[in-house]
Structure formats: structure tokens, C-alpha cells
Amino acid sequence: MPQMAPINWLTLFITFSLIFIMFNIMNYFIYSPMTPKSKNTNKIIMKSMNWKW
């Protein structure tokens, strides 16, 4: 019954909110996407697109 102990409900809400926010922040900063490592990145094929009039 929340009307009997509103301060207790408020501290529980703040505690769980802070834990939730910290969990999300940690997951956001720990995540590192995998970069595709291809061996053909150094070889760029350039085709000449000159018009032959």
C-alpha cells in the first residue's frame, strides 16, 4: 500500500531507475561493432570512363 510508506516507494523507484540507466549506459559503451576486414581493401579498381567521340 503506497500511502503507508511513500518514501520507501520513492527510494525503490530511484534505486531501480538508476540501476536500469547504469545497465543501459554500460551496454552502450561496452558494445563494439565488428569491422569487416577484407584483404581487398587496398586494391581499388578504377575503370576509366572516357567518352570516345
- Sequential DSSP letters for the chain: -TTT-HHHHHHHHHHHHHHHHHHHHHHHHH--PPPP--GGGS-----------
C-alpha cell at 51: 567518352
The chain-wide mean pLDDT, for the chain, equals 79
When pLDDT is averaged across residues 37-51 and rounded to a whole number, the result is: 67
> What's the pLDDT score for residue 42?
58
- Residue 15 corresponds to which cell in the numbers above? 534505486
In Å, how far are 19, 25, 42, 44 from 47, measured between CA atoms? 56, 46, 16, 10
- Does the pTM of the predicted model rise above 0.95? no
CA 14 to chain centre: 24
